[in-house]
Chains A and B, each alone.
Chain A
Amino acid sequence: MRALQQIHRIAVAAGLLIAAVGAAQAASGKTQPVAISFAITADGKEVGCGAPLADLGSGRLAAKLHEARFYVYGFKLVDSKGGRTPVALTQSEWQYGDVALLDFKDARGGNAPCTESNPAKNTTIVGAVPAGSYVGLEFSIGAPVETIVDGKPVPINHSNVETAPPPLDVVGMAWNWQAGRRFVTIEVDPLSPVVKADGSKTRSWMVHIGSTGCKGNPATGEIVACARENRFAVSFDRFDPKTQRVELDFTRLFEKSDLLADKGGAVGCMSGPDDPECPAIFEALGLNLVESAPGAGDAGKQTKPGASSVFKVGAAAKPAKIAGGKQ
């Protein structure tokens, strides 16, 4: 039944978005396309694909990018009065409903930076908004619990990876032990191995962010809630998609992390509230790893709404292409 609904949803989703855009057109006259570019930077330079990373972490080490992908959702353009207008995402293998997956690795692998002939898999969000004047941008990192497609709530984070539409069907972004998705997968390989608390060595220092403390309802077989959602919003008062891009700053993300050591828990930080590597990573992301005070109930919430120190506005390398996403 659910599978059938899913197929139905996929079938109608594309049509629906067109309908939604059409409705907006009818209401306001016309729409304008939007393309929002993303990039990863390290040590002030754009990286991605197999580009080497320099001066990373507290040890200012050289490292190699192993994985860098994350889900984003809820894109809104902000007008000069602070009003928010949702961006209707073009539906594609990278975008479903208002959710998209960004992936900064190339298809080829290897040790070279991204080039035009060997681009990162997907670094641009494409969609449309009602024609108008906008000055800022807001979006969130993560996979929402659900989103609205066809006027109905559709489960996202806890949907089945086998039946969910792209880009929610990526096995590598499934977080099966929490019956959900990894929101963020960032893995870097320092040139010498990471030494674990027990003396053993491993190659990658990993940042996996996702909702934790999730609980299902055995009587219905559905996931009901997660104790720590670990989603966060990024809000820029000033952002011009034509000349600027969103940058994820690895230098800031790993600033206080020792990439050659893992003192316990998962290697790196996999969102464990008691993982010794998580406080520095969560602080950089702007997320409360644990409650700010006993009983505050704000574990997994953003420390300051809209603020994440790792996301910045940068100058676009070149004008963002509207047809950026693979379709």
Chain B
Amino acid sequence: MRARLLLALGLAVAASSAAAEQAPAAAWMWDLPKYVPPPRVPADNPMSEEKFQLGRRLFFDKRVSGNGTLACSSCHLQERAFTDGRVVSVGSTGETTPRNAPSIVNAGWHATYTWANPALVTLERQMENPLFGERPTEMGVTDANKAEIVARFRADADYRKRFAAAFPEKADPISFETIIKAISAFQRGVISFDSRYDRYLQGKIKFTEQEQRGHDLYFGEKAECHHCHGSVNFDDQFVHAKTREAETPFHNTGLYDIDGKGAYPQPNRGLYDITADPDDMGKFRAPSLRNIAVTGPYMHDGTVATLADVIELYSQGGRKIDSGPNAGDGRASPLKSGLIVKIDMTPQEKADLLAFLKTLTDETLLASPRFSDPWKTAAAAK
């Protein structure tokens, strides 16, 4: 990974000197294996290293929140592949979110954002929700404190320099527009294609026999995991720079059926909460399975504790809840996706599948200084 970065920088330097030292900023280069096309980048927010590094600082900075107590990184921890290990997350004022924190890794390739929202098709748009949302409050940015938050960064000489370098075209480079753009650029740059699986794809390693059996099960017609998690990012809403038409499937996987008609409990009814189409009840976006072994607990509401439990759930073709307010047999839900059927995997098959899923963990991502908390690094250097 590091070697590739150095190479990329070297190339960038070569490219820029060839371009007659025109722009001081090194041209952004996507460091991707050849089976991954570059993501779509909004025309009004091009990538640059300066912007990525500014966004990285902001991502890890609690001053972005209204009361200065919460950073993006509070719910998106690098060592957990930018998830938080909680069932659901906690906002800056103590309110809990209704949903489990999704990973930001490889998010630049998502067609839609959050667990189920076809209206959010860019990271920039998605971010308005945790920043400005009121039900619940997450980052707690309001009309009343917005100017004060911006002033925190204007008062910081280092940030002034960094905003100016990241947004040289702007006379007044520090604003919520640029805060959002910089953090989005950082998120687009948080990429994970250096897992054991990637090394296997690149012919650098061979899988163990168990991993190989799990791989074959995953992509085979018994487990059929690949139907919804089949893209190079292990999801099915994968959009890249050259995508002309993006499909945005959402799925009901039989997690709940609280009324015998397929209902999911409020406030998490999935796509239905946006579209109000009864057919969309319980439909969620299939998340990327990259780094899935370190991103538990699982599902939109964090109600499945371990990856082994997830595999068991899909082996059963859904989830039956015996008691409590959400009791019901999701396995028999009339709204469940036709792709989710009882497949009764053997214990060996479940273990094999688990072994394969663990090959999707990218240790480079989890520890890379490039994606780490710059404030910790700065403190440690002192």
Identify the A interface with B (CB < 8 A): 1-4, 160-163, 170-172, 174, 176-180, 212-223, 227-228, 264-266, 272-274
Contacts and interface: CB of A to CB of B under 8 A. Distances in A.
B120 A179 contact: yes
Contacts of A212: 274, 276
B323 interface: no
Contact of A221 (B122, B133, B146): B122
Contacts of B276: 212-213, 227-228, 272-274
B73 interface: no
Given A160-B124, A161-B128, A264-B266, A218 B44 contact: no
Interface stretch (B175-183, B334-342, B373-381): B175-183
Nearest to A273: B276
A212 B276 CA distance: 9
A215 B119 contact: yes
23 contacts: A1-B43, A2-B43, A2-B44, A162-B128, A162-B176, A162-B180, A170-B143, A171-B146, A176-B128, A177-B120, A213-B277, A214-B118, A215-B119, A216-B122, A218-B110, A218-B112, A218-B121, A218-B237, A218-B239, A218-B243, A219-B246, A221-B122, A272-B273
Please name the 8 residue pairs, one residue from A and one from B, whose CB atoms are nearest each other, closest first.
Answer: A216-B121, A218-B111, A218-B246, A273-B276, A162-B177, A214-B119, A176-B128, A2-B44
Given A1-B44, A172-B142, A178-B274, A160 B243 contact: no
Contacts, number: 101
Contacts of B40: 218-219, 221
Contacts of A3: 44, 170, 177
B169 interface: yes
A172 B44 contact: no
A75 to B, nearest CB: 25
Interface in B53-110: 110
A282 to B, nearest CB: 13
Which of A161, A176, A215, A272 counts the most B-chain CB atoms under 10 A from its CB? A176
A48 B77 CA distance: 46
Contacts of B161: none
B348 interface: no
B117 interface: yes
Contacts of B141: 171
Nearest to A290: B276
Given A163-B177, A221-B121, 10 more contacts: A176-B133, A179-B120, A179-B125, A213-B277, A216-B125, A217-B246, A218-B112, A218-B237, A218-B246, A220-B121
Interface in B262-287: 266, 273-277
A222 to B, nearest CB: 7
A171 B143 contact: yes
Nearest to A222: B121
B243 A219 contact: yes
A218 B117 contact: no
A176 B129 contact: yes
B248 interface: yes
Interface in B163-185: 169-170, 175-177, 180
Nearest to A299: B276
A1 B122 CA distance: 16
A179 B133 CA distance: 12
A207 to B, nearest CB: 14
Contacts of A160: 124-125, 177
A225 to B, nearest CB: 10
B128 A213 contact: no
B232 to A, nearest CB: 16
Contacts of B117: 177
Given A160-B177, A171-B142, A172-B142, A216 B119 contact: yes
Given A178-B119, A222-B121, A213 B274 contact: yes
Contacts of B42: 221
B264 to A, nearest CB: 13
Contacts of A219: 40, 239, 243-246
Contacts of B275: 213, 227
Which of A2, A3, A265 counts the most B-chain CB atoms under 10 A from its CB? A3
Nearest to A179: B119
A266 B245 CA distance: 34
A264 to B, nearest CB: 7
B132 interface: yes
A197 to B, nearest CB: 9
Contacts of B122: 216, 221
Nearest to A163: B177
A306 B334 CA distance: 42
Given A179-B119, A215-B118, A218-B121, A162 B43 contact: no
Which of A170, A217, A218 counts the most B-chain CB atoms under 10 A from its CB? A218
Contacts of B237: 218
Contacts of B133: 176-177
Nearest to B127: A176
A150 B67 CA distance: 40
A228 B175 CA distance: 33
A155 B260 CA distance: 43
A72 B52 CA distance: 39
Nearest to A221: B122
Contacts of B180: 162
